[in-house]
């Protein structure tokens, strides 16, 4: 029972990081406060406006029913892609997004754990996390239901967050289900 609670807690933390990335994107697209930082060790999002401290946002995301209700085999930050494999940086993941005075947005992300190879097959079920789309760039209040939709592997790239369920074979995972949050900034207005 204790192990199950820890596993569910880990999944919820990753979902929070994914939601945080989407929230960062919404804030950037709406020209709102930056910098923002999200950490897999616990979601910490701080906004600032004109150099003044903003608000700290905590989001309570309930996992989508479409996703497996078992612990993920790995979760983390997109590192790179090679053929049918996506390499996921694990450990403590931190994301930072900044917007300068001319409106140019720069993002960066780091991880401090090992890089895990995830093989994407034609049988892999892909989901794109769209939870934050319903909030129009504003942070949600209280409990929020995670929302996913069918995804496309080609959309996964730099600064995407991934959660993977599958079969471990040696030092890689053959993915059955892969949920991802697209990079926080995909377009510039």
- Domain ranges in the chain are 2-181
pLDDT band at 26 (very low <50, low <70, confident <90, very high): very low
Please, where are the H alpha helices in the chain? Answer: 2-29
- What CA–CA distance (Å, rounded) separates 44 from 127? 24
Q: Which has the higher per-residue pLDDT, 68 or 17? A: 68
pLDDT exceeds 80 at position 54: no
C-beta separation of 34 from 48 below 8 A: yes
Q: Per-residue pLDDT for 41 more than 60?
A: no
In contact, 72 and 154? CB cutoff 8 Å: no
pLDDT in the model for residue 172 = 95
Give pLDDT, residue 131.
84
Is pLDDT larger for residue 144 or for residue 80?
80
Encode pLDDT of 91-102 as tens digits.
988 877 777 788
* For range 150-157, the mean pLDDT: 94
How far is residue 13's CA from residue 52's CA, in Å, rounded to a whole number? 28
Residue 136 has pLDDT above 50, yes or no: yes
């Amino acid at each position: 029972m204790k192990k199950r609670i820890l596993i569910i807690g880990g999944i919820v933390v990753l979902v929070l990081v994914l939601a945080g990335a989407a929230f960062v994107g919404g804030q950037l697209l709406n020209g709102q406060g930056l910098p923002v930082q999200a950490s897999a060790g616990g979601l910490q999002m701080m906004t600032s406006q004109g150099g003044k401290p903003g608000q700290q946002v905590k989001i309570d995301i309930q996992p989508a029913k479409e996703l497996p209700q078992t612990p993920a085999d790995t979760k983390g930050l997109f590192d790179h892609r090679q053929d049918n494999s996506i390499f996921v940086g694990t450990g403590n993941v931190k994301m930072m997004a900044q917007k300068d005075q001319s409106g140019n947005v720069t993002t960066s992300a780091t991880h401090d754990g090992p890089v895990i190879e995830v093989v994407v097959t034609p049988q892999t079920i892909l989901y794109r996390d769209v939870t934050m789309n319903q909030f129009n760039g504003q942070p949600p209040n209280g409990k929020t239901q995670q929302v996913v939709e069918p995804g496309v592997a080609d959309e996964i790239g730099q600064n995407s967050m991934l959660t993977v369920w599958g079969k471990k074979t040696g030092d890689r995972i053959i993915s059955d289900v892969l949920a991802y949050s697209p990079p926080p900034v995909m377009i510039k207005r």
